[in-house]
Amino acid sequence: MGEWWVSIGEFVDNASAMLALKVCLMALAGLLLTWGAAAAVGRVFERKTGAAQAKVIRRVVGYAGVIVVVLSALHQVGIDLSVLLGAAGILTVAIGFASQTSASNVISGLFLLGEQPFVVGDVIQVGSTTGELVSIDLLSVKIRTFDNLLVRVPNELLLKSPLTNLTRYPIRRLDIQFGVSYHEDFERVRRVVTEVVHDHPLCLDEPAALLLPQDFGEFGLKLQFSVWVARENFLEVRKTMHVKLLDALRREKIEIPYPHRTLSPGEAARPFPIRIVSGPEEEHGDPGRRIFER
Amino acid sequence: MASEAVTEHDESPAPWWGEFELETGHSLHFRIGPLTMWVQRLEGEWRVVHWSEADPMAEHQELQRTAAVLEPPSNGQIVRFTTERPDHRVTLQPVLADRPVVTRPETPIFVLAGDSVGLYVGTPMWVRLLVGDGATLLTELPTLRPSDTWFGPSTREGELAYAARTNARRVMETMRPKPSRAVTRVVVHNHGPDNFRIERINLPVPRLSLYRSEAGLLWTSTVTLERTGAQGQVRLDTSGPPPASAGPVTRLSEPRTPLERNVLVRALSALLG
């Protein structure tokens, strides 16, 4: 044990020990400085731009600082950096080819952070995924869907594809498509559905609800009813509005058409033989008919 | 069931708010406008039951204490607050709405250049329920939940407000003052070079104080809007007391959103439309 210790002592002479100590202290100071600088820059950006941007900037400053500290340390111990940097250049090209996707995601992430189409907490829709944005990272964003699944969407995909932010503006429009029979009075239908909005405290009075004829459908007039709602009440109104509309239309005996089929055997053929029988339908009546009977 | 009517009237202007002592097992039952609320003091808890009548224009004022816990109706919402404090005091407090209220004159009004107009607007009251000597807030409910509305130049800019169900009127005598509503006098001065059309007014209710007149009516501070020029700027002053026509008044509550300065210069589009 004693001999081993002595040999170590001989191997590490005073000068080497001093150099090692100096390098260690420099590296430690450099890392502390980097940490402090990253935190300070992060704080400044957090105030000016937002938490997500500050997080990325903090990381960039941190990584850059660590690289500088490592290179300085190597330089201090006498390693020729030009050789290392040359090797690093070749390595960078190799890594660059290998990590094209990651680099593309990082750059896309930086563009997205600059553009700021969303912030953490927004509800966004990308492709078929809709959910709350839980984090924005260098390579991807994480979305929590409403059935509580975590979806990771690469930044590159976000930059390339159309993205919908459902919570950017404080109010939203809820569109409900339905139809009414051709013999209904359109103005009466408008009055009835407007009354539904008027009685619903969560539907906005202004911008006013809009009933828009869309098309002459196969079975009736196709309509779109658009109601404005505060963003936070959207789900609540969506849950109840269809039922309230249906109730109001039934109460006013306004017919919502359902598919009718007329069967014709053609000119050459004989008519269908029809036999009238009494049964439960005759006794109780067709529920659909009874509801919409005028 | 012992029942003690504290006040029960439709005509008398006696206030519906105040402080009440409730023994354990007793209930306070009151109806203000379309809102009915029961407050029950039970062992280790306060229980609040409330529901609203289908008719939004229903106008009741009724207050009753009963020495029994009542069975809530099926449409009543029950909220329970547990406590270990031996408090028996309930305070009912009238407060103004927590958002601005958008109101319309009976018909759109033009204020001539250099002229003024005075309007009266009724807004629904909120009931604040506090318990104990420290006045701990239990809950706050509107006597009538007004419809939401949006007030702003576009669907991107603006603010969420309540829509007043009643029109702004020029003559106070045509108003029907109710115990569940506060009346605000709005004065618009047009110092601009042209006539000024008022279709809607965004009344900054959370910035107003609440007063009670000797006649028993609820009034708010007077709102003065001054159009200063052709530019889209309006000076808003919410510090004025209720009008002289209200008679002597006593202040009931401070504004929900206190203002450092009572005079604000705001974009025209933020107040009038």
Is the confidence at residue B95, as pLDDT, over 90? yes
Would you call B102 and A171 a contact, using CB atoms and an 8 Å cutoff? no
CB-closest option in B148, B159, B200 to A201: B148
Which of chain B's residues have a Cβ under 8 Å away from the Cβ of A230?
148, 150, 160
Q: Please indicate if any CB of chain B lies within 8 Å of the CB of A230.
A: yes
Q: Model's pTM, two decimal places?
A: 0.72
Would you call B148 and A205 a contact, using CB atoms and an 8 Å cutoff? yes
Would you call A228 and B145 a contact, using CB atoms and an 8 Å cutoff? no
Is the confidence at residue A211, as pLDDT, over 90? yes
**Structure-block tokens of residue B142:** 């509107």
ipTM for the complex shown: 0.77
pLDDT digits (tens, 9 = 90+) for A232-245: 999 999 999 999 99
Q: Phi and psi at residue A292, in whole multiples of 5°?
A: -100, 10
- State residue B243's pLDDT score: 87
Query: Could you say which residues from 162 to 201 on chain A have a Cβ atom under 8 Å away from some Cβ of chain B?
Result: 169-171, 198, 200-201
Which of chain B's residues have a Cβ under 8 Å away from the Cβ of A233?
148
Residue of B nearest to A231 (CA): B160
* CA triple A265-A269-A273, angle to 5 deg: 70
Q: Where are the domains of chain B?
A: 7-94, 98-124+144-270
Would you call B156 and A169 a contact, using CB atoms and an 8 Å cutoff? yes
In single-letter form, the type of residue at position B188 comes to V
pLDDT digits (tens, 9 = 90+) for A244-253: 999 999 999 9
pLDDT digits (tens, 9 = 90+) for B138-192: 899 998 888 999 988 888 888 899 998 777 777 776 667 777 889 999 998 988 8
Give the distance from residue A229's alpha carbon to the nearest chain B alpha carbon, in angstroms.
Answer: 8
Give the distance from residue B8's alpha carbon to the nearest chain A alpha carbon, in angstroms.
Answer: 30
Which of chain A's residues have a Cβ under 8 Å away from the Cβ of B146?
201
Edge-first strand order for the sheet with B18-21 is B18-21, B89-95, B126-131, B136-142
Token look-up 């354990």 returns B24
What A144-153 contacts at long range (C-beta under 8 Å, 24+ apart), as own/partner pairs, is A153/A126, A153/A129
Highest mean pLDDT among A101-115, B11-25, B55-69, B113-127: B113-127
Q: Please indicate if any CB of chain A lies within 8 Å of the CB of B199.
A: no
Q: Please tell me the distance from the alpha carbon of residue B8 to that of residue B64, in angstroms, as a whole number.
A: 8
Q: Please indicate if any CB of chain B lies within 8 Å of the CB of A233.
A: yes
Would you call B145 and A206 a contact, using CB atoms and an 8 Å cutoff? no
Question: Which residues have a Cβ under 8 Å from the Cβ of B267 and sit 6 or more positions away?
Answer: B232, B233, B234
Q: Please indicate if any CB of chain A lies within 8 Å of the CB of B98.
A: no
Is the confidence at residue A158, as pLDDT, over 80? yes
CB-closest option in A169, A170, A206 to B149: A206
Residue of A nearest to B154 (CA): A207
Query: Could you say which residues from 196 to 215 on chain A have a Cβ atom under 8 Å away from some Cβ of chain B?
Result: 198, 200-207
CB-closest option in A198, A202, A207 to B150: A207
- State residue B3's pLDDT score: 45
Q: Please tell me the distance from the alpha carbon of residue B185 to that of residue B169, in angstroms, as a whole number.
A: 10
Instruction: Answer whether A177's CB lies under 8 Å from A214's CB.
Output: yes
CB-closest option in B149, B155, B163 to A169: B155
Is the confidence at residue A283, as pLDDT, over 80? no
Beta bridge pairs of residue B95? B126
Which of chain A's residues have a Cβ under 8 Å away from the Cβ of B155?
169, 171, 207, 228
